[in-house]
Amino acid sequence: MGATATVRVMSPEEIAARSGGETPYLLWPERGTHFAEREMRLRQLAANHPMREFLLFAADLASAQQAQLAAYPAVALPDHEALDRAASRLAPPLAAIDFPRDPAWRSELRALLARLPDSLPPAARDTIGRVARAEDSWLETQADCLLAGVTRGLDLAAAPLVAAGLQVYFTHLLLSVQASAIGRGQPFGRIEDETVCPACASKPVASVTRNAGDLLGQRYLGCSLCGLQWHMVRIKCAHCLSTQAITYQSLQRAADEPDTGAAASAVAQAEVCDSCGHYLKIFHSDRDPHVDAAADDLATVTLDLLVSESGARRHGVNLMLLFGEPDSQTDDSADDAAEGHPRAGTEISAAVRPPNPPDPGPR
């Protein structure tokens, strides 16, 4: 497989060539601004939004994430042999489900939680305290469930908090591996499965159109975990890669409805594939330059409700807002939960309902 396999991995020369105006395949999260931009966007979207409290809570989390990312300690990195092996197999080098996490992620999570404001509602403070005091083994189990997309055994109230810690850890890991490879060749590039993140193999949260290089309106899928963005042509299903039978749905705001902020309805679309029945949201940065895949996804849950009425399933995953019930899974529904499929209005509202940040719920 050697020759054909390696030819599809981007070499440093190709990366360099791509700075000359071609569309770059990868867009990197910026250590200094990645979560800060998300925080800003969440606060902007929260104005007059029905989920205002939840969006502001997510903004507080993003603020704490940014502070942690800016000063994250060194963590264990995969060695060069492992990176080369992954590249030659067109495999994601940091596949999140299997990756041996550095224990530092737990202490960094606890430090992140300590940054959250005391002014949060009591229910949220309780959940924060519970996660901060949790045993290492419980945190590891929660992390395993989150990264595998399994809601059985997952504490849904605590999930956004644990997920926030994992996101910072994997973003830091991604940027550290990238920095450690300087002069050695690009450790990240195309992998066999272009429906998942080329670095950590997580699903995208949504896609964003951007102007990249000389080309206008390029579409990038944003990783739900590490924040890496990878290019995918438009009008192509992000789940089954079909280019047939793609349609778009968006929310039309009725004239008598309040503006839910930042003209979200005009900026957001669901790209629906009639071949496989999945959809991924697409946000247009030419219509609003501040779009952030994760933030805008949270603020457009009504679009999920609209699209799910036609039976379409979510391909995107938002770790801040998981769809599905924790304790009611059959093998069949496990698939749905992993795909974040909003199957019925009742289930969605159960998971969405933390407009009061993380719903403590009886457990």
Q: How far is the CB of 48 from Zn ion (least distance, A)?
A: 32
Please, is 180 exposed, middle or buried when counting C-beta atoms within 10 Å of its C-beta (0-12, 13-18, 19+)? middle
DSSP letters for 215-239: EEEEEEEEESSS--EEE--SSS-TT
Q: How far is the CB of 56 from Zn ion (least distance, A)?
A: 26
Cβ distance to Zn ion smaller for residue 209 or 224: 224
DSSP helix/strand/coil, 270: strand
Q: How far is the CB of 244 from Zn ion (least distance, A)?
A: 9
Binding footprint of Zn ion on the chain (CB under 5 A): 197, 199-200, 202, 223, 225-226, 228, 237, 239-240, 242, 273, 275-276
Q: How far is the CB of 234 from Zn ion (least distance, A)?
A: 14
Q: What is the DSSP letter of 104?
A: H
Cβ distance to Zn ion smaller for residue 176 or 356: 176
Q: Which residues contact 136 (CB under 8 A, 6 or more apart)?
A: 103, 106
Cβ distance to Zn ion smaller for residue 49 or 315: 315
Q: How far is the CB of 83 from Zn ion (least distance, A)?
A: 15
Task: Look at the alpha carbons of 236, 322, 40, 165 in this order and tell me if their dihedral is positive or negative.
Answer: negative
Cα angle 123, 159, 221 (rounded to 5 degrees) comes to: 130
Cβ distance to Zn ion smaller for residue 127 or 171: 171
- For residue 162, how many other CB atoms are within 10 A of its CB? 27
With contact defined as beta carbons under 8 Å apart, do 268 and 279 qualify? no
Cβ distance to Zn ion smaller for residue 23 or 275: 275
Cβ distance to Zn ion smaller for residue 222 or 354: 222
